[in-house]
Amino acid sequence: MSQQPGTSGLIFNEPNLWDKSRKGRCAISLPTQDVERTRLDESLTGDAPELPQLSELDIARHYTRLSQWNFGVDSGMYPLGSCTMKYNPKTNEVQAARQGFAGAHPLAGDEFSQGALKLMYNLERYLAEITGFDAVSLQPAAGAHGELTGMLIIHAFHAKNGKQRSKIIIPDTAHGTNPASASLCGYESINIKSGENGILEPEAVAAVMDEDTAGIMVTNPNTLGLFESNIKKIADIVHEKGGLVYGDGANMNAIMGVVKPGKIGIDVLHLNLHKTFSTPHGGGGPGSGPVAVVEALEPFLPIPKVVKELDTYKFVTDCPDTIGRLHTFYGHFGVLIKAYSYILSMGAKGLCDVSKLAVLNANYVKERLKGTLNLPYDMPCMHECVFNDEFQKKNHITTMDMAKRLLDYGFHPPTVYFPLVVDAAFMVEPTETESKEYIDQFIDAVKAIAKEAQDDPEKLKKAPLLTKVTRLDEVTAARKPCLRG
């Protein structure tokens, strides 16, 4: 596979349906009418809507062409750091679409939902086992929603213990949603810097931890793709002053089956089922951010909770210390089915292999690209690695120029300008599902672009050149979005 997947070949133009409309065209044939035609009372219906008039082929081509403009992991590599855009086995979609699940209704009642409840109960047990915690709630509907849930639990814990606290420690390598979740809970974020190696130093935590601090939020692996190896010491410092440790476990695919966050001092953790556990999430699709807690925090978990009595499952809401409901009904159940199916089909060894391959692939990218792009933290990484444009600056080429050019080579660009600790970051997460051949193609493309940065920087500044639309004015697009097409 020496050739790049990008091509300048057939890319169809496609106007909107109204432009294609021709009077009298119709894509449907209705049976001959056997009743007399009458006009509806126009004072009730108003003017007839101006719908496009199209043949069946017009419509088939229209949507097929639009679908071909889409890019997804099923079409090519999508190394968007921090997002885990990996391939999700189709069997998990098939299980989620099974009639018994797809037809389940949230108002059917426990008695008629035993299969769904059993699945939720078992999934909670599996996730507790994988993370090393005592209890899990499947209620949060996304990662940041899980963070908010975790923060509300920490808040409720301190309230129950008689003294509310006002601050929370957040390192510079935490995910951007962390401070937002903390401040939604009324906490003031105390930002601390990570050490020279890109990981947190216990001394930095000790310097700010006090009895008015509710705890710390640690993203592990952190947003530099590095494992916070001082986590146990940091947890001891926080616990000693009565605080709690929040773990952002969105990127569990780096440590699953290898590290149990519940055993290294973390008290409450969220997972992103739509990253690690087989729900595709391009375009912000439905997610699920379960929260796992140590025994002492179990009473505060949100309601409803699924319990098992003899062989019957039911929801309970009568929990005096709960933080309450997070939403109507039970979250994105389809995502839970896919996670359950994924865990069962992978098995314990399979899940462990996922993490090992994710880490191996990222380290392979890091090692092979580190002479081509600048690598600010040259350490063994977890599931992703972070470069920047330091080497290309002399030719006035930026991370953005290189990311745009990757589109011409047929790759979705990596995450850029995040994490903020690295200036002009270029953050690559190959994921465990890419083979060596695909990763090599990506590496070759980046190397070719770095060469272009030297040989033809002017061309690179205009990239992408082969896509349907070339470089967009992103500032105007964000400030004055044109929502009408």
Ligand X SMILES: *Cc1c(COP(=O)(O)O)cnc(C)c1O
Binding site for ligand X (CB under 6 A): 82, 142-144, 175, 177, 219, 248, 250-251, 272, 287, 289
Shortest approach of ligand X to residue 356 CB, angstroms? 20
Phi then psi for residue 359, to 5 deg, are -70, -40
Based on CB atoms, which residue is closest to ligand X, 272 or 372?
272
Based on CB atoms, which residue is closest to ligand X, 217 or 449?
217
The residue nearest ligand X at its CB is 143
Shortest approach of ligand X to residue 251 CB, angstroms? 5
Query: In angstroms, rounded to a whole number, what is the distance separating the alpha carbons of residues 438 and 4?
Result: 9
The two tokens of residue 444 are: 């070759």
Shortest approach of ligand X to residue 170 CB, angstroms? 12
Compute, in degrees rounded to 10, the torsion defined by CA atoms 255, 257, 263, 267. Answer: 60
Based on CB atoms, which residue is closest to ligand X, 222 or 392?
222
Based on CB atoms, which residue is closest to ligand X, 207 or 420?
420
Based on CB atoms, which residue is closest to ligand X, 292 or 443?
292
Shortest approach of ligand X to residue 34 CB, angstroms? 54
Query: In angstroms, rounded to a whole number, what is the distance separating the alpha carbons of residues 288 and 273?
Result: 5
Shortest approach of ligand X to residue 475 CB, angstroms? 24
Based on CB atoms, which residue is closest to ligand X, 276 or 441?
276
Shortest approach of ligand X to residue 68 CB, angstroms? 27
Based on CB atoms, which residue is closest to ligand X, 88 or 177?
177
Based on CB atoms, which residue is closest to ligand X, 250 or 381?
250
Nearest to 27 by CA among 64, 2, 4, 56: 56
Shortest approach of ligand X to residue 404 CB, angstroms? 23
Shortest approach of ligand X to residue 428 CB, angstroms? 14
Place of tokens 């401070």: 179
Shortest approach of ligand X to residue 141 CB, angstroms? 9
Shortest approach of ligand X to residue 272 CB, angstroms? 5
Query: In angstroms, rounded to a whole number, what is the distance separating the alpha carbons of residues 179 and 171?
Result: 10
Based on CB atoms, which residue is closest to ligand X, 144 or 204?
144
Based on CB atoms, which residue is closest to ligand X, 250 or 406?
250
Query: In angstroms, rounded to a whole number, what is the distance separating the alpha carbons of residues 401 and 417?
Result: 12
